[in-house]
Chain A
Amino acid sequence: MPKGSDIFLQNVSKVVFFIILAFALYLFFTGHGSPGGGFIAGLMSAGALLLLALAYDIETVRQVVPVDFKLVTAVGLLIALCTGTGALFFGEPFLKHAFGYFDLPLLGKTELHTALIFDLGVYLAVVGVTMTILLTIGEDS
């Protein structure tokens, strides 16, 4: 689809893209307390990028996120794995999580949890996987 052919879609996408991303971030961070989590957030973020790809084209997506999504998958898997391995250094079994409550400057009393890092791995893996599939198929057609 050449640039400028669908002005409404493109302009709406510019706004909606960030709304979706913000919602995805919300889902990601709230996942431990309310519905959400790395998996849904990852799918949602990929959905935002997909909207961009539909409104503009795949090249735009590549410019906006100039990374190789296969690498994103790999990094996600690595993070998830490292979270698990980290527990081993403290003499705990694999994938044992730790958490605590801290007073942070801006947020006040906040719960910090190693499960969040694991969820980050899930998030990155899902984004990478989804985008790899979509871009591969998209570029082929």
Chain B
Amino acid sequence: MLHVLILIPFLWAALIPLMRALPRIHPGWAVLPVPALLFAYLLSRIPAVSGGESEFVSLPWMPDLGIDLSLTLDGWSLLFALLITGIGSLVVWYSMFYMGKSSESIRHFYVYLLMFMGAMLGVVLSDNLMVLYAFWELTSIASFLLIAFWYRRERSRYGALKSMLITVFGGLAMFAGFNLLYGMTGTYSIREIAAQAADLSGQSLFLPAMILVLLGAFTKSAQFPFHIWLPDAMEAPTPVSAYLHSATMVKAGLYLVARMSPIFAGGSEWFWIVSLTGLITLLYGSFKAIRQTDLKALLAYSTISQLGLIMSLLGVGSAAAFYDDPARAAFFGLATTAAVFHLINHAVFKGSLFMVVGIVDHEANTRDLRKLGGLMKLMPVTFAIALIGSFSMAGLPPLSGFLSKEMFFTAMVNIWEFDAAGAQSWMLLLPIVAWVASVFTFVYSMILVFKTFGGRVKADKLDKLPHEASAGLLAAPILLVSLAVVFALIPNALASALIDPATAAIRGNGLTAETAHVSIHFWHGWTPELFMTLGVVLLGILLYRTYTRFSLLDREWSGRDTLNRAYNGGLSLLENGGRRATDLYMTGSVRRYLIYILLFLAVSLCGTLLLSPNIRLGMDDYAPITFYEVAMVIVMLAAAAAVPFARSRVNAILFTGAVGYMVTGLFLVFRAPDLALTQMIVETVSVILFLLCFKFLPKLKREKEKPVFKWTNLIVAGGVGVTMTLVALAAMGSSPFEPISEYFLRESYESAGGKNVVNVILVDFRGFDTLFEIMVLGIASLGIYGLIKLGVKTNP
């Protein structure tokens, strides 16, 4: 059933283009049943999973490579699958009212969306790392397509490209990390790797694998400093922002970190990297969110900071892995429960807030906070939704956000007592940073509600006076915020149904849903957490009243943008640098390329000669040198040396010819009559051809003067000459095998019936070479024929 579950969205996506036949029906109606039915099925699995069952199915895909389509449904996967299908249904519903039926290529939209949904289900259900990676990249691609849905706008394309580059960068790093894991364990199955986790932590590849996997998770989940793609992804249609960039895709990184916790949590590096990255992201995102003027940008930074919060909780929760004592483990493991709880809460309130912003955008035609205000009376229902969503985000009672924020504070205070990862005094920093970030969170939540809905209506800045949205548009966010209230009322039912099995699945250590249970109360006495929340509210209200006076918080509503500038600068540096580097060496001059080739030849050969131990330049077994050889070599050297100094081309050609005839002479002396004959005729023909070329050189710019002297040429030529001489000497001096020529001399007459061994070799022993050599000649002649005959036609 799990395979079918993933397959359905893809199959359905393939069918959506057929909706063209029914132009009067919004294609969203055809899409809606898919996530709704999947959601219903997954709901029916809750009792079994919370009872401790976990489903595991496997189909062979590439069994030789250890890649199987194995899927598993445990508490953690189930939670994500429910989020994906549940919020997916609401987003599809919302998009039906948000997106026009005819004006946009609406069917494409749903194809991409279904593709994304299937891929995301694949990510959370996969047990095989390679399958997970495949689905992971598919979510990147679907997200790319969805961000650039309005592809005629330059900003959309920019945002899509940016998100693609960053998430694919992380995805590839993760791929490498997965392969390192495979190298250490010999399996791609997550559960089998987790079973070997104890042997892993000592290995040298453990830390690289961890960092690479984390890179993937951090880029996907928009952690500092890879968060910069998320604000630019807000160019996507609002349903996409609500679905992908708040509730599901950006949580894929969190999913992965939690999924990998049983494998990596044994190392203290994991604790520090995950917690600190999460905290930095939390603080930075909440700080930046205050300075945004665009509602969606504010929500984007808020998403970044909330993701950081969950990430830090996952990191802190890994402290439980350091203790065998169940009580201590549970004490620190509370953070994991808080992370899971906040993950649910965030998906709920952030989804609704995005939908609210979409409604405001739809009604007022702007998302700019400087133009908005006083919508409270005009859009009371929207205001109510926004109020509940924001208060849950700020962590105010009586909403579910309050509960998870309290647990967050508890976890951060508890970590004071953690003493296994070294540097205990630094632990003090964690709750302080968390608390400051919460103050900022409170402030931007208030900005979101009261700058939009409070104050006076700025009618002069708006195109039209907004009014309440249609019931269909409001239905989805209403359902979501009511969940925020319901979860707050029955947190323990939610906990036993979803949170505890999820926590048990990602904490490992043989935890079950019962033992992982943490009772959630609104009132838990006069604890430090309560005072922290009180402080957040008091300081937050104070800061909200006065923050425009702090230039750091309100630098003309936007502020500096260092990281994006670094990204853009880096990209253009890559492009320009790449082009300049290419221009530097790809000059188009053949002389340059020859120098590269020859220098490489000389350097690599000389280097090999120097480094090889078995090379010797001995001259013991050389034949004695005769007078004729000496004489001919001297003439040949003189002729060759004269070529570069020749003042005219004719002289150079004649000197070359002289070298050729001297070679003929050497062939004679070395007793190679066939070669001598051939060499003589070929030399004659080529000299004639050279002279022909010379005759037809253009009259203009005829080069009479001496060739230009260049030191580089001399060095390169000398180097190559010396190199080849050394190589020849070394080859002669250290040839370890007997030549096979004895065989030819012996067998030429016996088995081939010829006395001219050279000819016998050419036509008999090695006739195959000759066959193709005459073919080369034929091709050359046809080439010349074609060049001359066709050249005449085009160039009369």
Contacts and interface: CB of A to CB of B under 8 A. Distances in A.
B778 A125 contact: yes
A94 B756 contact: no
Contact of B780 (A43, A74, A119, A129): A129
Nearest to B684: A47
Contacts of A129: 774, 777-778, 780-781
A36 B351 CA distance: 91
Interface string A88-108: 000000110101000000000
Interface in A102-141: 111, 113, 115, 118-119, 121-122, 125-126, 128-130, 132-133, 136-137, 140-141
A70 B767 contact: no
Nearest to B777: A129
Contact of A137 (B692, B767, B774, B778): B692
Interface residues of B, number: 38
Interface residues of A, number: 44
B760 A32 contact: yes
Interface string B733-767: 00000000000000000001111101110111001
Contacts of B782: 70, 73, 132
Nearest to B673: A35
Contacts of A40: 674, 677-678, 681
Interface string A18-45: 0000000001000111111111100110
Contact of B685 (A81, A130, A141): A130
Contacts of B677: 27, 35-36, 40
* Majority secondary structure of chain B interface residues (helix, strand, loop or mixed): helix
A40 B673 CA distance: 11
Contacts of A81: 771
Contacts of A61: none
B551 to A, nearest CB: 82
Contacts of A122: 763, 770, 774
Contacts of A111: 753
B788 A140 contact: yes
B19 interface: no
Nearest to B767: A95
A80 B771 contact: yes
Q: Which of A39, A70, A73, A118 has the most CB of B within 10 A?
A: A39
Contact of A39 (B678, B752, B780): B678
12 contacts: A32-B760, A32-B763, A34-B755, A40-B677, A70-B785, A81-B771, A84-B768, A97-B763, A122-B774, A137-B784, A140-B792, A141-B692
Interface of B: 673-674, 677-678, 681-682, 685, 689, 692, 695-696, 752-756, 758-760, 762-764, 767-768, 770-771, 774-775, 777-778, 780-782, 784-785, 788-789, 792
Interface of A: 27, 31-40, 43-44, 47, 70, 73-74, 76-77, 80-81, 84, 94-95, 97, 99, 111, 113, 115, 118-119, 121-122, 125-126, 128-130, 132-133, 136-137, 140-141
The 9 closest A-B CB pairs, nearest first, are: A35-B673, A99-B753, A32-B754, A125-B774, A129-B781, A132-B781, A129-B777, A43-B681, A33-B755
